[in-house]
């Protein structure tokens, strides 16, 4: 039975049921999206109205309240809502049936609501502006384009987009403006910055069967046809569809480069006409903007667990109170005391008492906990966003906090997973070297090459260093080349054959690419989808083959060797994909009128496609590639093949049939076997090797120092890259991630060291046993145990991850990785990156992972980690948009984690502990009074003061601790990154530490509650007035306010003038409000004029001084004991700062006090790194 929900038009919806979470059965029922052209639509499509706002005026209150009182995320709010409900029950209420807890709860919820409203208003404004924008839509009645609002557009409409106009929906390009008196090309350019963050222009093409035949509205009106296409999805780089105009214009596939997506901007083209195929929330940009999963910090999760334990403690207190009253009633003739209204049902009376005590001590949980954490995080995020030490002036890019709930989590990172290209490197490519016909060209040495020589303990020849200087002096944009040998060979000095091979090599490079030429102010500017292509085209220009333009199906190059312009007909382009790892172009060469296949790609896919009988050339080129890889250069093989005319015509016919078959397109999209890829494989064979290119991707500034600091902080670093093993290792050495073998053991896992499952298992087992043996014997050896590094390649990782048996390869891999200070994974795919993060995230106890990358291939890894960090670099904003934090350079990661993360973790830990401490102090002090009032539950304080306790008396000063406090200065943190280890070990918010705070509050509450009952018996010496329990209760509460605020002196490391001012204002507000509450009889008749009498008595002030001396004296004594006998590294560093020894290092102290841990096992930090990055002199502190 069909489950469709029909609209008022009685048309079935275009999408499968419950799309995009449809079942296979639902998809079989509606396998494709059908769009009619020039005819009424068969299916119902959503309109083009978009809504990104979270709330509407009519649903804000219910929706917001459901979020605020979600027991999974905000248990404290639910707790206080229950308390408010219980307060309305007269039998158990201690507030006369009035839910007084609703007042502070209401204020807290309102503050949260205001934050949400302001955030949502900006979304509403953006939605209104977008929906009200104007578009030009074809009117069949007038046969012209007429203005309409974006929200009025429908699927099947034809629209005309002007130059620099934003695309209002996903459209298939029918035609574009052409140059007068020139053949139609069907080419336009689009800026996709709002979609993927990339600023370079992309080339887009009109449909080949329409661009030369459709140029005006009259021709559009007569079009009739149908589009079969994919259902809406978020894959912005993919599109599957076929357009069929019948016998008039025929049937054509719709590739991704024939589609303009909503949010993009048309550039360098006067206009474009498109057919609307996706509207509103079906467009790819809207499908991509679905909210990411909510993330919660470990500290907040632990705090929620402690709330549950505190509720258990509260239950124990309530049981004690109710049982105490039952015992007192049993021991006294309570039935004779008529005024107590004794209930003869003792069990019912016990339960009533239980809930009465539950309400009396409901303040065990701080009502302002969540709002305080939110405010502190907001201000912390502001400081992080505006930190100049994380601002990259070159691109005007500050840091960006996208998920402020994880601010404190940054201070507990144990594992960092990093991409290489664009993350550790600049992703700005320079052509450095090339191997052509088995001869290597290019001299000099890269920064990574220097690291390779260092790894081998070999001195770098001076000639190599001199060549590097000359290469830099001769450099032009994207080319840094110096080679006297090339100058000889390129002019025929090594024979005519080599000269021809050199020219053929660079000619192929100048043709085989998808670079777009732009002309700005008469200057040619290249716009490339990836920086490698741009560098190669620049190199071809440098060596005499300048890519000049694209006209229709022709690529125009200027051949400086022949001093002429060449027009090369492009017959077919098979683009590069991450799966194919190669690009091919089929051309008709004007030099000999032959059809040729030009291909460039990675060695892993190219070597198998080379023709036979060129083994010597292949071996020489492979040897050169290995040399280039050692220098960290990125290599691509270049090859060509001649194709017979009939063979190509036959292949092209079959290929066209395959790419217009919607079923084959879908199979390809799902990664299944398909005829499209089979045909591509069939064509790309029998290549003649020309050589290989070598491109340098330089390391970002500060990467080695940053990695050295993170390693000393106890963080395990994993570099996950698609590079060759040699390249990955040498880059890791250049980054200070790996050290030479005399300082670090390298565990290499590849098809040589572990050719099969048994070999890999033996390797892992041997390494584990060797480590355990060295660890057991270390106390008897004079030399410390060397740290280890694991280097594993993608194929080996695939084998290891597939073995999920107990003590299988997956488990052994995880165990070995935890013995290592660093892990380098090479030749890994994006999904393998995600799998490695998941392996550590789920397999290691108490681990906190951070993944950092800059490209779309890093998104899966970033989303899998506890914290994702995106680098806003050359590959757009896809990584940034999926991340929790964004920075411009890898080196800022040390500021983000070691500085801000560490501070935020310590501050938030202090805030949470303090919030519970002060509430337990106040609530338990009231409980002790029950021993003096027959466990009747009599209030010890005035109700008004209780309600203001969390909101005003103790809430503001602790916020400023959360904003500003620093135990040690940032300079000291970076000089001593080992202090970060306390966060990894969660030393500031352990359960034991939390309950030490609770125990301290309980002990102090006894003193503050009981002593005033004895010391205030003769309250006024002048009048002889005896005190009631109101005066001791008020004295106790006043002492609690003072003690709780003075406690900050022992928590806060740095005090500024505003801290003192806020403290004074808080206490003055306390005095003023307490005077008001006790001066108005209607507010609390029991405490009427009590505060006035107390403050006029010297006894009260003397008692207050005594109580504070006892409580504060205890804190002074404990603080002195801790600093002298249980001191921690920050204590020593604080003394060094005060003693003006900021630059003094305490290396020996750190070595003795800190144990850098890796998965619960000790690994000695590399002294070689420490000595070279200490930043100061060593000093022994005992």
Q: What is the pLDDT of residues 673-689, one digit of tens each?
A: 899 999 999 999 999 99
> Above 60 in pLDDT, residue 1135?
yes
List residues bridging with 745 in a β-sheet. 788
SS (H, E, C) 275-291: EEEECHHHCHHHHHCCC
Across 798-811, average pLDDT:
87
In this structure, of 567-576, 707-716, 928-937, the range with the lowest mean pLDDT score is: 928-937
Given 419, 430, 514, 854, which residue is catalytic? 419
The percent of residues in the chain predicted with pLDDT above 70, rounded, is 91
Q: E strand or H helix at 176, and its extent? A: strand 170-176
Q: Characterize the bridge pairing of strands 523-527 and 1177-1178.
A: unpaired
Q: E strand or H helix at 849, and its extent? A: strand 849-853
Confidence (pLDDT) at 933: 83
Instruction: Kindly indicate the confidence band of residue 745, based on its pLDDT and cuts at 50, 70 and 90.
Output: confident
Copy the structure tokens of residue 667. 């199979």
Confidence (pLDDT) at 763: 92
Copy the structure tokens of residue 738. 């790996």
- Whether 419 is a known active-site residue: answer yes
Higher pLDDT, 846 or 346: 846
Across 279-283, average pLDDT:
92
Residues 1030-1055 as b/e (b if ≥16 CB within 10 A, e otherwise) read bbbbbbbbbbbbbbbbebbeebbeee
Q: Give the max Cα distance, the chain.
A: 125
Across 50-59, average pLDDT:
85
Instruction: Kindly indicate the confidence band of residue 96, based on its pLDDT and cuts at 50, 70 and 90.
Output: confident
In this structure, of 207-221, 250-264, 730-744, the range with the lowest mean pLDDT score is: 730-744
Confidence (pLDDT) at 294: 64
Distance of CA 223 to the CA centre of its chain: 47
What is the tens place of the pLDDT at every residue in 809-819?
A: 999 999 999 99
Q: How far apart are CA 386 and CA 405, in angstroms?
A: 18
Q: Where are the alpha helices (DSSP H) in 660-756?
A: 662-669, 675-683, 703-712, 725-734
Spatial strand order in the sheet of 241-244: 33-37, 225-229, 241-244, 251-253
Average per-residue pLDDT for the chain:
85
Across 394-402, average pLDDT:
89
Confidence (pLDDT) at 1157: 37
> Above 50 in pLDDT, residue 298?
yes
Instruction: Kindly indicate the confidence band of residue 1162, based on its pLDDT and cuts at 50, 70 and 90.
Output: very low
Confidence (pLDDT) at 200: 63
Give yes or no for a contact between 890 and 389, defined as CB atoms under 8 angstroms apart: no
Backbone angles phi, psi at 1114, to 5 degrees: -60, -45
Instruction: Kindly indicate the confidence band of residue 1167, based on its pLDDT and cuts at 50, 70 and 90.
Output: very low
Confidence (pLDDT) at 438: 93
Please report, in angstroms and rounded to a whole number, the separation of the first and last CA atoms in the chain.
81
Compute the chain's Rg from CA coordinates.
37
Q: How far apart are CA 817 and CA 1119, in angstroms?
A: 40
Q: How many CA atoms lie within 13 A of 642 on its CB side?
A: 6
In this structure, of 638-652, 902-916, 1118-1132, the range with the lowest mean pLDDT score is: 1118-1132
Q: How many CA atoms lie within 13 A of 446 on its CB side?
A: 31
Across 943-953, average pLDDT:
85
Q: How far apart are CA 670 and CA 2, in angstroms?
A: 26
What is the tens place of the pLDDT at every residue in 371-385?
A: 889 899 999 999 999
Across 1071-1100, average pLDDT:
83
> Above 70 in pLDDT, residue 572?
yes
Instruction: Kindly indicate the confidence band of residue 509, based on its pLDDT and cuts at 50, 70 and 90.
Output: very high
Instruction: Kindly indicate the confidence band of residue 1175, based on its pLDDT and cuts at 50, 70 and 90.
Output: very low
> Above 90 in pLDDT, residue 869?
yes
Q: How far apart are CA 655 and CA 678, in angstroms?
A: 9
Across 718-733, average pLDDT:
80
Confidence (pLDDT) at 87: 85
Copy the structure tokens of residue 636. 């691509």
Across 877-888, average pLDDT:
82
Confidence (pLDDT) at 199: 61
């Amino acid at each position: 039975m069909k489950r469709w929900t029909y609209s008022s038009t009685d048309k079935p919806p275009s999408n499968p049921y419950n799309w995009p979470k449809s079942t296979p059965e639902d998809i079989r029922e509606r396998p494709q999206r059908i769009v009619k052209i020039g005819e009424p639509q068969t299916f119902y499509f959503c309109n083009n109205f978009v809504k990104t706002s979270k709330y509407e005026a009519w649903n804000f209150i219910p929706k917001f309240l459901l979020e605020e009182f979600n027991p999974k995320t905000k248990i404290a709010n639910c707790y206080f809502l229950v308390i408010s409900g219980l307060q309305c029950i007269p039998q158990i209420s201690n507030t006369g049936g009035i839910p007084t807890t609703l007042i502070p709860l209401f204020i807290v919820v309102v503050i949260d609501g205001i934050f949400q409203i302001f955030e949502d208003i900006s979304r509403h404004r953006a939605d209104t502006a977008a929906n009200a924008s104007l578009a030009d839509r074809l009117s069949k009645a007038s046969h012209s384009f007429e203005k309409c609002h974006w929200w009025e557009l429908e699927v099947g409409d034809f629209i005309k987009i002007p130059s620099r106009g934003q695309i209002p929906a996903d459209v298939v390009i029918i035609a574009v403006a052409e140059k007068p008196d020139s053949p139609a090309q069907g080419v336009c350019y689009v800026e996709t910055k709002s979609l993927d963050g990339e600023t370079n222009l992309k080339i887009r093409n009109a449909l080949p069967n329409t661009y030369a035949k459709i140029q005006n509205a009259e021709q559009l009106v007569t079009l009739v046809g149908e589009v079969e296409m994919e259902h809406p999805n978020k894959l912005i780089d993919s599109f599957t569809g076929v357009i069929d105009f019948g016998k008039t214009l025929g049937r054509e596939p719709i590739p991704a480069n024939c589609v303009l997506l909503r949010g993009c901007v048309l550039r360098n083209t006067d206009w474009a006409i498109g057919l609307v195929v996706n509207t509103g929330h079906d467009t790819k940009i809207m499908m991509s903007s679905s909210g990411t999963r909510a993330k919660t910090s470990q500290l907040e999760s632990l705090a929620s667990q402690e709330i549950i334990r505190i509720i258990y403690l509260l239950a124990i207190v309530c049981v004690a109170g109710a049982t105490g009253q039952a015992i007192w009633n049993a021991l006294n003739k309570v039935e004779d005391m008529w005024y107590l209204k004794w209930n003869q049902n003792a069990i019912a009376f016990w339960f009533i008492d239980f809930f009465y005590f539950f309400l009396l001590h409901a303040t065990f949980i701080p009502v302002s906990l969540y709002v305080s954490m939110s405010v502190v995080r907001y201000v912390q995020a502001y400081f992080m966003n505006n930190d100049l030490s994380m601002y990259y002036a070159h691109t005007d890019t500050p840091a960006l906090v996208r998920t402020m709930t994880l601010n404190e989590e940054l201070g507990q990172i144990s594992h960092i997973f990093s991409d290489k290209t664009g993350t550790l490197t600049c992703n700005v490519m320079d052509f450095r070297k090339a191997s052509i016909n088995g001869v290597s060209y290019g001299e000099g040495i890269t920064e990574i090459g220097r690291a390779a020589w260092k790894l081998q303990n070999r001195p770098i020849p001076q000639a190599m260093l001199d060549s590097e200087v000359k290469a830099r002096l001769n450099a032009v944009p994207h080319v840094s080349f110096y080679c006297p040998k090339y100058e000889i060979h390129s002019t025929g000095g090594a024979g005519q054959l080599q000269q021809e091979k050199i020219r053929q090599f660079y000619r192929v490079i100048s043709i085989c690419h998808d670079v777009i030429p732009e002309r700005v102010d008469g200057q040619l500017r290249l716009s490339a989808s990836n920086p490698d292509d741009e560098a190669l085209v620049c190199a071809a220009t440098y060596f005499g083959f300048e890519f000049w333009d694209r006209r229709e199906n022709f690529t125009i190059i200027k051949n400086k060797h022949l001093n002429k312009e060449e027009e090369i007909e492009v017959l077919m382009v098979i683009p590069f994909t991450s799966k194919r790892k190669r690009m091919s172009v089929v051309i008709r060469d004007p030099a000999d009128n032959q059809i040729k296949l030009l291909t460039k790609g990675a060695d892993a896919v190219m070597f198998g496609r080379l023709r036979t009988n060129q083994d010597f050339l292949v071996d020489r080129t492979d040897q050169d590639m290995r040399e280039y890889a050692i220098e960290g250069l990125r290599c691509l093989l270049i090859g060509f093949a001649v194709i017979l005319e009939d063979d190509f015509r036959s292949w092209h016919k079959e290929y066209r049939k395959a790419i217009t078959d919607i079923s084959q397109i879908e199979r390809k999209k799902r990664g299944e076997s398909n005829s499209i890829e089979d045909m591509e494989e069939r064509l790309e064979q029998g290549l003649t090797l020309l050589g290989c290119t070598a491109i340098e991707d330089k390391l970002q500034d500060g990467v080695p120092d940053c990695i050295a600091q993170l390693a000393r902080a106890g963080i395990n670093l994993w570099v996950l890259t698609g590079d060759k093993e040699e390249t990955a290792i040498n880059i890791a050495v250049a980054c200070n991630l790996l050290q030479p073998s005399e300082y670090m053991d390298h565990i290499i896992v590849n098809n040589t060291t572990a050719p099969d499952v048994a070999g890999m298992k033996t390797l892992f087992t041997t390494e584990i046993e060797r480590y355990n043996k060295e660890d057991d014997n270390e106390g008897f050896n004079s030399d410390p145990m060397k740290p280890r590094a694991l280097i594993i390649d993608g194929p080996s990782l695939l084998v290891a991850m597939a073995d999920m048996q107990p003590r299988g390869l997956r488990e052994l891999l995880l165990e070995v990785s935890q013995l290592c200070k660093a892990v380098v994974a090479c030749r890994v795919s994006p999904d393998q990156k995600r799998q490695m993060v998941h392996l550590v995230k789920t397999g290691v106890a108490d681990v906190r992972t951070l993944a950092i990358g800059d490209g779309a291939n890093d998104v899966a890894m970033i989303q899998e980690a506890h914290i994702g960090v995106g680098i806003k670099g050359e590959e757009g904003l896809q990584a940034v948009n999926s991340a929790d934090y964004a920075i411009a350079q890898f080196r800022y990661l040390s500021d983000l984690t070691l500085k801000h993360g560490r501070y935020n973790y310590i501050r938030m830990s202090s805030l949470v502990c303090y919030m519970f401490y002060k509430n337990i102090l106040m609530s338990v002090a009231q409980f002790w009074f029950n021993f003096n009032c027959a466990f009747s539950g009599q209030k010890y304080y005035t109700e008004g003061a209780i309600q203001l306790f969390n909101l005003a008396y103790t809430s503001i000063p602790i916020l400023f601790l959360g904003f500003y406090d620093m135990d040690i200065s940032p300079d000291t943190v970076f000089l001593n990154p080992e202090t970060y280890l306390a966060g990894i070990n969660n030393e500031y918010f352990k359960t034991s530490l939390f309950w030490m705070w609770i125990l301290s509050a309980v002990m102090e509450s006894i003193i503050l509650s009981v002593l005033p009952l004895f010391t205030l018996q003769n309250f006024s010496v002048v009048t002889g007035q005896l005190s009631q329990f109101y005066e001791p209760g008020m004295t106790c509460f006043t002492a609690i306010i003072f003690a709780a605020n003075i406690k900050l002196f022992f928590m806060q490391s740095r005090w500024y003038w505003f801290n003192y001012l806020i403290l004074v204002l808080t206490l003055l507000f306390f005095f003023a409000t307490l005077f008001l509450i006790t001066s108005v009889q209607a507010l609390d008749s029991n405490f009427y004029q009590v505060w006035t009498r107390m403050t006029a008595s010297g006894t009260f002030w003397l008692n207050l001084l005594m109580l504070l001396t006892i409580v504060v004296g205890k804190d002074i004594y404990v603080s002195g004991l801790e600093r002298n006998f249980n001191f921690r590294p920050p204590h020593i560093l604080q003394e060094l700062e005060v003693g003006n020894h900021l630059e003094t290092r305490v290396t020996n102290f750190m070595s003795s006090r800190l144990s850098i841990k890796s998965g619960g096992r000790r690994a000695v930090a590399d002294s070689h790194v420490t000595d070279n990055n200490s930043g100061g002199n060593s000093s022994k502190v005992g």
